[in-house]
Each structure stands twice: as C-alpha cells, then as structure tokens.
A and B are shown apart, each in its own frame.
Chain A
C-alpha cells in the first residue's frame, strides 16, 4: 500500500492553479490564433464576470471552436492573452469543454453515470477508484439536470436533449466554473432547448460562467446577456439587440445570410445549420 501511495504522489501531478479574487472569470485580450499560415482568429478581446452567459455567434468556420479551445488552454495562441481568474488557462481544471453531440461516439460502452464520473477524475487523482461518496456526487450532479433516473442507461439510448444535459452534469462533476458549450442547442426541439435554458438559469445561481456557440440568433439575443459576433475576427460584443444590426450581420455572414423584414421584426435566414462546423481544424493538435 505504501508503494501505491508513493506512486500516487510521484506520478501524474494534478495542477490546480490558484484563482485570484476580484479578477474577471475570463479575460481575453487581443487574442490571435494561427494554423500554420492560416489566421483562424485575430484580435479578439472581451471579458466576463462570474455567472455571465455569453452566446458566440458566427457562420461555419468562423472560429468558434478554435476560440473555445484557445480559452480552454488546449490550443496554443500566437498573440494576445487569455486569463482565467487572473491566470493563464494552462493549469486550470475548472474549465469544462462540452463537445458538440455530433462529435461524440455514442456507441461507447459507458453508462450516463460513467460519463459523468469522467468529469471527476482530476478530483479523484491518479491511481484511485471512485468511492461511494464519489458516486453520490455524480448522482447529485445528475439531479441538477434531471437525469438521475437514467443514470444506468447506455449513453446512446438518450435523446439529444438528455445527452446535452448529461454533459452539463459532467461539467458540474468537474466543478467547472467556466463552461464552454459547443453548439448545445443544435438539433434539439424547443422543449429540450427550454430544459437546457432552465438549467443554465440554475448555473447562473451557482456563479458558473457559460459561453455557448449557436447558430440561432433569436435564442442568442433573448437568452444570453451578451453576444460575441465572430467571423475570424470580432465583429461585435454586447447585448444581442445592439449587436445584431443589418450591417454587422452582413459583415459576419456575407452571402450566406438573407435578411427578411417582416413588419417590426427582422428575420435572419440562412446559416442555421448544422452538425459539423465547416472548420477543418477541429482536431486537437
């Protein structure tokens, strides 16, 4: 047993970076990301306080996933700065990345509880097995998202909305303070979207900051505090009502977007799909 303890101490150190109080949850300054010669993102700057909820909007290939990966510290950036509670993203385990559902292997032999437990492994530490108290923790996370009855289901047997809620539970199990959600609403029906929005409301009470990418402009401006409009560069950051101007949207979407005036309302049609973001750089480098 002492051998195991020794091994635990000396292998796989888990780094927990301190959080400086009074610093914004996330501060992005002049961020640029390159893939070889290609500029994927340039000059992104914004800052978020705890509990804020931001929608990241832009056409396919606008660099939404790239931005998330740079913020999560899993893709290097060439210039600028990302700070999470005053510290670079590299050592934080408080950032959760919730993958797009289309990028997940739903046939993987794992139950809902297994996947949520995956979020806890940095708290568990290396060479340790989950104990009863850890499974209790997982159950509490599942309770928040209303999936506790389905904890033993194989993950492929869940509906789209349930799958998305499972990933939120996993992020809770990870004790995430910043959640990066990649297209959480894509492919969900309205009731399922509303379930997720209700959960986001609860997350706000826990001071969890949320960035979600979406193609749904109405949803972005109605349910999110701020909108970040993106197409390889930052085209606007602020409340949706201010950001979604005809001029800005045309800049972001160019030929992909048709704007339809309908009395007082303005409808934006076009790039409202899809599963796969056209980004060729989805892969983890």
Chain B
C-alpha cells in the first residue's frame, strides 16, 4: 500500500541492518568531529597513512584472536597509537620532509600487514574485510566499544575545543599563550588514531580517509564558523551512513563503498551548489 514506507522499513527487519546503522551513525559522527581538524590542518595524507599503518596490528589481532572483534580492536588500537606517535616523532626529528616520512612508515606497515594476512588460509576473503570493512557484521560488543571510545573522543574534542582551535589557526598564538602545544599535537594524533580504530569495521582501512575528510570538507564549504562546521560534518556523515546502507541493501553493493560514495555525492553537490551560487553572484 505505502511502497515508500515499505522500502524504508523492510531492511530494518534485519538485526544486522539495525546494528550496521547504529555503527554507521556513531562512526560517522566521531570521524567527522575529528576530521574537522584534519581538514583544517591539511592532515588528510596523515589520516590515510595511519589507517593503512594499523593493518599489521589488526592482522596480529586476527591471528591471535581468531577473528574476535575485541582482539582486532585492541591490537588495532595499540598499533594505531604507536604509529601515530611514531609518525609524529619521525616527521619532527628527521631531515626528511613530513610527507616522505609518512609515506615510508605507511607503506612499510601496510606491506607487513599484507604479509601477515597472506599467511592465513582464506587470504583474499579476510583481506577484503580489513580493506573495505564489514559494517553489517558488527556485534553488540563492537557497538559497545564504538560507543565508549567514540563518546570519549568527542568528549575530549569538546573539552579542548578552544585549545585545538587556536593550535590549528595560529600556532604562534598558542605558543605566546604558553599552551602546551606539543602535548596537544600528540593528543590530536592519538584522537585520530582512536577514531580510525573505532571505524575500522565500518569502512575498512582503504576507505577510511573518506570518513575522516569528506563530510568535514563538505561542511567546510557550507559553513563559516568552526562549531557549525563540526556539527554539520557530523550530521552529513550520519546521513551518508544511513543513505549508504539503504543503497547497499537495495543495490547489493559493498556497504563501506556505498557509504563513502554517498558522502562523496554530498560533497559534489555542495561544491556544485557553491560554484553556481558564486557564478550567479558575479552575474549580478
């Protein structure tokens, strides 16, 4: 009778869809909040590299825990925090340019991850899960960890909101206000690392950077103040999560890819909208 409603409600009959949506909402909001700083500070490559660098940790977690979510999470977390601080230290200390240092660490770690996973029997299936995520396979335990750590990340971002803002806008001001700039930098790196681990199951390693960057970049185009940018980024990411999951259900395509594509479409629309808007303004 009401076909639109049916289309909307039908997927919700499946518990895995409900869990997937809960995961997509949480991950979207958390990644977009942290991602705001990634966009403003030009750290997209760092985020991408960090996501790839945790693959060996996840692989070890997989080999040790036999695919249990908790084991993947904790091993991933350990690797992410070590990698983020490691990349931070290397790029500060060495004579290399920062992006070169990041590239070396990222590719090396990623190769190690692939080597570890290739030692298992069903290599391609497992690798695909890590690379592209499996949001419909999340368990209640996974959801609890997402809520706990995701909530923690958002709380820290809110508590240190003004410090992070100053550090991103004007590091020299942060220095003359005697803020502990180095500690705050590392705190931000750790927050990014945590956000990546929390989101690992939703989109996987390869598409992670889209969760971190795309909704925030879209919001950046549409807003003029940081709190609104953060809020809009989170809303857009949640919306992309839901819309993406419906698309994945009806078109039978990979859920992670569907979420990212939806997010990309939002960005393209905003970009186009802005371009047309400024063209009309000039035309007047």
B162 surroundings in chain A (CB, below 8 A): 117-118, 121, 124, 129-130
Residue from the list A15, A96, A109, A127 in contact with B176, Cβ < 8 A: A96
* CB of B6 closer than 8 Å to a CB of A: no
Among listed A97-105, A226-234, A245-253, interface-contacting one: A97-105
Q: From residue A108, how far is it (CB to closest CB) to chain B in Å?
A: 5
Q: Which residues of A contact B173 (CB under 8 A)?
A: 97, 99, 118-119, 170
Distance from A280 Cβ to chain B, minimum over Cβ atoms (Å): 14
Q: How far is the CB of B79 from chain A (nearest CB, A)?
A: 27
Q: Is the CB of B175 within 8 A of A72?
A: yes
Q: Mark B100-132, 1 if CB is under 8 A from A, else 0.
A: 000000000000000000000000000000000
A interface size (C-beta, 8 A): 37
Say whether A118 contacts B170, CB under 8 Å. yes
Q: Evaluate contact between B225 and A118: CB separation under 8 angstroms.
A: no
- In the assembled complex, A284 has its CB within 8 A of some CB on chain B: yes
A74 close to B229 (CB less than 8 A): no
Q: Which residues of chain B are near A121, meaning CB under 8 Å?
A: 162-163, 166, 177, 179
Which residues of chain A are within 8 angstroms of B220 by Cβ–Cβ distance? 109
Contact mask B152-177 → A, CB, 8 Å, 1/0? 00000001101101101111110111
Would B166 and A95 count as touching, CB distance under 8 A?
no
In chain A, residues 24-61, which have Cβ atoms closer than 8 Å to a Cβ of chain B?
none
A186 partner residues in chain B, CB cutoff 8 A = none
B165 touches A118 (CB 8 A): yes
In whole angstroms, how far apart are the Cα atoms of A69 and B173 in the complex?
11
Closest CB in chain A relative to B165 CB, distance in Å: 7
Cα separation A72 to B226 with both chains bound (whole Å) = 28
- Residues in A neighbouring B223, C-beta threshold 8 A: 109
- Let me know if A111 and B178 touch, CB within 8 A: no
A195: B residues at CB distance < 8 A: none
Complex: how many Å from CA A124 to CA B179? 12
* A88, chain B: closest CB distance, angstroms: 12
Whether B178 pairs with A122 at a CB distance below 8 angstroms is yes
Name the contact of B226 in the complex, choosing from A91, A104, A114, A119 (C-beta under 8 A): A114
Q: Does A163 touch B at the CB level, under 8 Å?
A: no
Q: How far is the CA of A73 from the CA of B176 in the complex (A)?
A: 7
Which residues in A have their C-beta under 8 angstroms from that of B228? 109
| A99 and B175 within 8 A (CB) | no
Residue ID in chain B nearest A126 by CB atoms: B163
Is the CB–CB distance between B166 and A110 below 8 Å?
no
Q: How far is the CA of A127 from the CA of B162 in the complex (A)?
A: 9
20 of the cross-chain contacts (CB-CB < 8 Å) are A12-B163, A72-B175, A72-B176, A92-B178, A93-B178, A97-B173, A99-B170, A109-B223, A109-B228, A110-B165, A110-B169, A110-B225, A111-B225, A115-B169, A117-B162, A118-B166, A121-B162, A127-B159, A284-B171, A284-B175
Q: A14-B178, A90-B178, A154-B224 are in contact. List 5 more A-B contacts (CB 8 A).
A: A12-B179, A105-B40, A108-B168, A119-B173, A154-B225
The 7 closest A-B pairs by CB, nearest first: A74-B175, A154-B224, A122-B177, A109-B229, A109-B226, A118-B166, A121-B162
